[in-house]
Amino acid sequence: MMKTVIDEIRKLRKGAPLAVDTHNSSRYRLIVNEDDGSKTAYYFSAPVYNSGSGRLLDCKFRADGNKAYLTGSNSNITVSDRVTMESSDGRCSIDMGDEPIYILDTEVHFERCVLFPTTNGVALKCAAGKDGSVSFDVEVGNGELMVRSNDRYFALMAEQFKPFVTFSCIGKVDASGRITAPCRIEYERLDDTVYKITVSTMDGSAGYCLFEANFYESKLFQDTTVESKNPSMNNAFGTSAFIGSSLFCGEQWLYSRPDFSRMPEIEEHLINKAILHLPRLDESNVELSAYRVTARFCSFGSSWDSRIGEGAPISDSKTNGSYQSIDLTKLLLSRDTGRLLRSDGLILKPRSKGSGCSAVSTADSCFAPQILEINYKS
């Protein structure tokens, strides 16, 4: 879970001075002035500034009696016996079944669930029953909406390729808070505006299911996982990846491409380095390798059966505390101009085949966003 934007950047900088540059026009980034005169932009995969006030998100609940309030990137969230998310695009509420027991800055505790803040919604860690599942009723105030889903996410769509709200599995959680296996999600339409959402552990055992519910905002990366066990499945709005080999997914890869239209302000600068930081969701030591793609991929059309092959290797990941960090300078830096290069993206695979899997966040996660660190000359 991301505590605050500043906290995550401090972790990545490992004690280096943090002099924030206040001249920033992007809702996705925070800029730091370096001692050598360069600047480092930390681009988050989800917006980290509120669209109305322009303020940096604090990702904290505010208690008022038996209710909690949270400000998202384009939403306002109220937690009582329901989690109600509201924005200019509409309203969505989750029936929690009871009132909160107690409220902290970063947690709201119910009898069967704990809520955590995300950048534009909430994450829910819920005790699954003996059958390994937990269910909620979800109501939307927008009338009947088209559904896009698989067994990892459920999205009510505002447009063909743009969700209004997404519910996405992060995984099964152990006592230490680490992900040990994927979860699955199913839905049942009860009427035009009410849906029953069921999240369950993939192994069918009791435990805790962790998933997130967010209003949608465009992400900095367009990505999807593909996997051999579900060869026709696309996962454009999934928020966790189990890259490598596992009992539940078979072989899984992550395809990713920066949406350069979200970062036009960086293109005029000379780039020194670019590093992608993937939040680790488990304790795996499986190293990842990044490869170029041999052709441009579609995040909505890609599956294991239709996957684009890997090209030349880029670099290998390094474990960096709670992140897997991958140097993408070779991919994103033009040798001719020294400026940002609009690449067709990359594939993330395990460095060694058959070594297991590493659970990381995808770019769609608002619970633990990815971070692209770019150091440049002003």
Distance CA 363, CA 170 (A): 12
Q: What is the DSSP string of 63-128?
A: EETTEEEEE-SS-EEEESSEEEEEETTEEEEEE-SS--SEE-SS-EE-SSEEEEE-SSEEEEEEE-
Read off φ and ψ for residue 234, nearest 5 degrees: -105, 150
**Residue 185, Cβ neighbours under 10 Å: how many?**
21
pTM of the model: 0.97
- Tens digits of pLDDT across the chain (378 residues): 788 999 999 999 998 999 999 999 999 999 999 999 999 999 999 999 999 999 999 999 999 999 999 999 999 999 999 999 999 999 999 999 999 999 999 999 999 999 999 999 999 999 998 888 999 999 999 888 999 999 999 999 999 999 999 999 999 998 778 899 999 999 999 999 999 999 999 987 878 999 999 999 999 999 999 999 999 999 999 999 999 999 999 999 999 999 999 999 999 999 999 999 999 999 998 999 999 999 999 999 999 999 999 999 999 999 999 999 999 999 999 999 999 999 999 999 999 888 899 999 999 999 999 999 999 997
* Model pLDDT, residue 203: 83
* Model pLDDT, residue 253: 98
CB-count exposure of residue 54 (10 Å: 0-12, 13-18, 19+): exposed
* Model pLDDT, residue 129: 85
* Model pLDDT, residue 61: 98
* Model pLDDT, residue 155: 97
* Model pLDDT, residue 2: 83
* Model pLDDT, residue 174: 84
Nearest 5°: the CA angle 146, 147, 152 is 165
3-state secondary structure 39-62: EEEEEECCCCECCCCCCECCCCCE
Q: In sequence order, what are the beta bridge partners of 277?
A: 325, 371
Distance CA 310, CA 313 (A): 8
Q: In sequence order, what are the beta bridge partners of 40?
A: 32, 375
Q: What is the DSSP string of 296-335?
A: ---TTT--TTTPPPEEEEEEE-EEETTEEEEE-HHHHB-T
- Which sequence spans correspond to the domains of the chain? 5-46+222-377, 62-217
